[in-house]
């Protein structure tokens, strides 16, 4: 798997276009790069979120983690340290800033996140648009409880935490009828579940929505899922920034795929 990720990264470095937007002919994508990829984030947001991350990295409590497995079909409990999860699960600050900028521009009235963990990415999303409701799903009750504490400590009141499997919670969120401005898919790195969740989300997105998938080059399975998603008939623009994949559903735009250096 390590060799696969390395090969994908090397290919990305060779094929990706300049981060300043040079050579990008689409006005929509060019403006996206200037306003969202390169735009600076509010330092207060970074301070709030990264203070939380540091606290989690210093927390050596052991908690019980419920592993729902692929599609929630397997349910086992394992013991892990909070600090260990905080080192491996949350998005790095660089990508947190990207999520924050995207939320500010595309969040609309509702953001959906699949995979809360301790809430690092959730906080980046929510802090950028305090008037937007962020609905985030976490499968493990002990992890969700810590995330809720983090949100309360940070003073973020626009986050709703749902505990349970994505398979159970996501359909009910979609049935509520709110069109999500932004959806962030994380927390499951298997092709079939990711495609399933994307299919459920497609029922409610509109041409203003954006879907971001984390770890698209994590494995061959995830790379294959990304390949299907970016080629979906409803997708008009796809952007690969190596770690994450972004898809838009804009009307009047000829389908195109981009690899952007980030």
Backbone angles phi, psi at 47, to 5 degrees: -60, -45
What distance in Å separates the CA atoms of residue 115 and residue 126, rounded to the nearest whole number? 14
Share of the chain above pLDDT 70, in %: 94
What pLDDT, in 10s, does the model give residues 171-208?
999 888 789 999 999 988 899 999 999 999 999 999 99
Look up residue 202 and give its two tokens.
Answer: 């497609």
What pLDDT, in 10s, does the model give residues 209-251?
999 999 999 999 999 999 999 999 999 999 999 999 999 999 9
Q: Is the full-model pTM beyond 0.85? A: yes
Q: Residue 16's pLDDT band (boundaries 50, 70, 90)?
A: confident
* The pLDDT of residue 25: 74
Domains and CATH numbers, the chain: 2-56+90-259 (3.40.50.150)
Nearest partner of 29 among 200, 184, 175, 236, judged by Cα: 236
Contact residues for 236 (Cβ-Cβ < 8 A; gap 6+) = 248, 249, 250, 251, 253, 254, 255, 256
* The pLDDT of residue 253: 86
What pLDDT, in 10s, does the model give residues 53-74?
999 999 999 999 987 654 344 5
Contact residues for 238 (Cβ-Cβ < 8 A; gap 6+) = 229, 230, 245, 246, 247, 248, 256, 257, 258
Check: CB of residue 100 under 8 Å from CB of residue 124: yes
């Amino acid at each position: 798997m390590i060799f696969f990720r390395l090969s994908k990264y090397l290919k990305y470095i060779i094929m990706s276009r300049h981060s300043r937007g040079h050579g990008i002919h689409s006005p929509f994508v060019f403006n996206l790069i200037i306003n969202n990829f390169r735009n600076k984030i509010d330092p207060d947001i970074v301070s709030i979120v990264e203070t939380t991350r540091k606290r989690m990295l210093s927390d050596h409590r052991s908690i019980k983690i419920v592993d729902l497995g692929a599609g929630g079909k397997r349910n086992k409990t394992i013991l892990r340290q909070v600090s260990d999860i905080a080192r491996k699960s949350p998005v790095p600050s660089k990508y947190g800033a990207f999520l924050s900028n995207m939320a500010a521009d595309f969040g609309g009235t509702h953001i959906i996140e699949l995979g809360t963990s301790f809430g690092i990415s959730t906080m980046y999303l929510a802090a950028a648009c305090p008037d937007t409701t962020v609905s985030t799903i976490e499968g493990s009750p002990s992890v969700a409880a810590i995330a809720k504490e983090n949100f309360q400590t940070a003073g973020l009141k626009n986050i709703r935490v749902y505990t349970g499997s994505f398979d159970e919670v996501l359909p009910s969120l979609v049935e509520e009828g709110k069109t999500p401005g932004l959806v962030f898919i994380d927390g499951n790195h298997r092709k079939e579940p990711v495609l399933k969740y994307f299919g459920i989300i497609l029922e409610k997105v509109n041409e203003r929505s954006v879907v971001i998938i984390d770890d698209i080059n994590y494995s061959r399975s995830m790379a294959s899922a990304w390949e299907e998603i970016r080629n979906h008939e409803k997708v008009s623009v796809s952007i690969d920034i190596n770690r994450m994949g972004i898809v838009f559903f804009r009307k009047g735009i000829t389908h195109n795929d981009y690899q952007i250096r980030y």
